[in-house]
Amino acid sequence: MDLSRAAAEAADATDPLAGFRARFTGTDDDGPDRLLYLDGNSLGRLPRETPAAVARAVEQEWGQGLVGSWRDWVQQSGRIGDVLAEGVLGARPGEVLVGDTTSVDLYKLLVAAADARPGRDVLVCCADDFPTDRYIVAGVAPARGMTVREVEAHIDTGLELDVLARALDERVAVVVLSQVAYRSGALVDIAEVTRLAREAGALVVWDLSHAAGAVPADLTAAGADLAVGCTYKYLNGGPGSPAFLYVRRELQEQLRQPIWGWFGQRDQFAMGTAYDPADGVDRFAVGTPPVLAMAAVEVGARLSAEAGIERLAAKGRALTELVIALADEWLGGHGVAVASPREPARRGSHVSLAHPQAWQLTQALIDRGVVPDFRTPDRLRLGPAPLYTRFVDVWDAMDRLRTVLGDRSHESYPTERSRVT
């Protein structure tokens, strides 16, 4: 592998997604001191179309259209859901809905799934999964007299299927699992896990937060039953943007989620006496979705769909491959170890590097115009988002990291964590 900057420039020159970069703000500056944003796996960049789309929702739809705009707004959750279904998730129309937070959506689907497996009293989750996933499971289990069975995953390489398989038996009702692990970026095979769970009679609720827009989920092909995910990372929907949920069409009528709100009601504005859940995926809605935030989600979702998830994933593999190769070449001597799967098909679009002073390195990089993030206990996480990150951006960011490690300037930073990422 040619690790020269010229090779990175050459990769950008033939990148089929190169044109998408200009559709995000903050990408004009091409100078040597420009900001190198490698935290799109935490909060994606702002698409250039978004300010106008949000302003239109605020000024025309709300300001002028007032309540009359509900004619369109009631379509929003399903319309954006269909964009994600077709363009990003490999699902069918009418299977995805946008609204609520990832945590609330996970709670709804987890309870619905547990209800659909009466007599089973175990919920399985991964000991190294993202906190909110583990916390939601930890809260649901005791409230239902169930117990949690945590499966161990390797902090760098993720969950092994045989470890999961050993945890599955006739007591397991539901498995909650992330497709891409938030720290290491390790990717699990949705089809294989779904098959294992189904053999054991359990349902899986997938968390696609660190995967959606970066790697294909191929939910229909994989036979996946249930999933949730966030839209503010690779889908560039904005800070705290509403999440999505997916329910396989054939399961929708069998499931009932626990929060019976009026947006899940059949013929909602008849305001009937008894709760009667709507047909299809709409029954998984609860309250009034935040329309202004949804306008931003729609722009982001359409951008990823336009780029195509296979092209995004291919570029993500190439970008992270470059991170790993440069880390091996330049940083091994400085105590940096790659803490993500080395096999491209086993990871998402971010890479973690382990270093005892990862927190200080994060601060030093931020002061040098590189935005990564820190993850406990000692990880520097780099997320080159395929829509707007170039190969030269990765090269330059790694070069700045090499410089920091070389001059040891990170050692002057305090050790305590005080920054919110």
List residues forming the annotated binding site for pyridoxal 5'-phosphate.
102-103, 130-133, 207, 210, 232, 262, 288
Q: Which of 100, 105, 207, 396 is catalytic?
A: 207
Distance of closest approach, residue 35 Cβ to a second copy, in angstroms: 8
Distance of closest approach, residue 53 Cβ to a second copy, in angstroms: 10
Whether 419 is a known active-site residue: answer no
Cβ-based burial of 110 (10 A; exposed 0-12, middle 13-18, buried ≥19):
buried
Taking the C-alpha atoms of residue 285 and residue 77, their distance in angstroms, rounded to an integer, is 9
Site for a second copy in 240-269 (CB under 8 A): 240-243, 258-265, 268-269
Residue whose structure tokens are 């001191």: 33
Whether 130 is a known active-site residue: answer yes
DSSP 91-108: --TTSEEE-S-HHHHHHH
Site for a second copy in 211-240 (CB under 8 A): 230, 232, 238-240
C-alpha distances out from residue 204 to 124, 132, 306, Å: 9, 16, 29
Q: Which of 10, 138, 314, 325 touches a second copy (CB under 8 A)?
A: 138
Helices 5-13 and 391-407, axial angle in degrees (round to 10): 160
Whether 279 is a known active-site residue: answer no
Site for a second copy in 309-348 (CB under 8 A): none
Report CA 266 to chain centroid distance, whole Å.
31
Find residue 204's DSSP bridge partners: 175
**Binding flag, residue 274, a second copy (CB under 8 A):** yes
Whether 390 is a known active-site residue: answer no
**Binding flag, residue 37, a second copy (CB under 8 A):** yes
Stretch of residues binding a second copy (CB under 8 A), selected from 13-21, 80-88, 284-292, 346-354: 284-292
| Type of residue at 418 | S
**Binding flag, residue 13, a second copy (CB under 8 A):** no
Say which residues have a Cβ less than 8 Å from residue 158's Cβ, sequence separation at least 6.
Answer: 128, 181, 184, 186, 187, 188, 341, 346
Name the 3-class secondary structure at 37.
Answer: strand
166 sits in which H/E element: helix 161-167
Asked whether the beta carbons of 202 and 118 are under 8 A apart, the reply is: no
Q: Which of 11, 122, 291, 351 touches a second copy (CB under 8 A)?
A: 291
Whether 233 is a known active-site residue: answer yes
Q: Where are the beta strands (DSSP E) in 260-408?
A: 337-338, 351-354, 370-371, 373-375, 379-382
The nearer residue to a second copy, 70 or 413, going by C-beta atoms, is 70
Site for a second copy in 49-88 (CB under 8 A): 50-51, 54-55, 57-59, 61-64, 66-71, 73-74
Distance of closest approach, residue 32 Cβ to a second copy, in angstroms: 20
Q: Which of 100, 156, 282, 298 touches a second copy (CB under 8 A)?
A: 100
The nearer residue to a second copy, 150 or 321, going by C-beta atoms, is 150
Q: What is the DSSP letter of 32?
A: T
Say which residues have a Cβ less than 8 Å from residue 143's Cβ, sequence separation at least 6.
Answer: none
The nearer residue to a second copy, 168 or 371, going by C-beta atoms, is 371
Q: Which of 183, 283, 375, 381 is catalytic?
A: 381
Site for a second copy in 352-381 (CB under 8 A): 371, 373, 375-376
Q: Of 373, 372, 380, whose CA–CA distance to 355 is shortest?
A: 380
Q: Which of 98, 181, 186, 294 touches a second copy (CB under 8 A)?
A: 294
The nearer residue to a second copy, 26 or 406, going by C-beta atoms, is 26
C-alpha distances out from residue 391 to 65, 166, 210, 320, 341, Å: 45, 41, 21, 10, 20
**Binding flag, residue 162, a second copy (CB under 8 A):** no
Q: Which of 152, 166, 287, 408 touches a second copy (CB under 8 A)?
A: 287
Active-site residues: which are they?
Answer: 130, 207, 232-233, 381
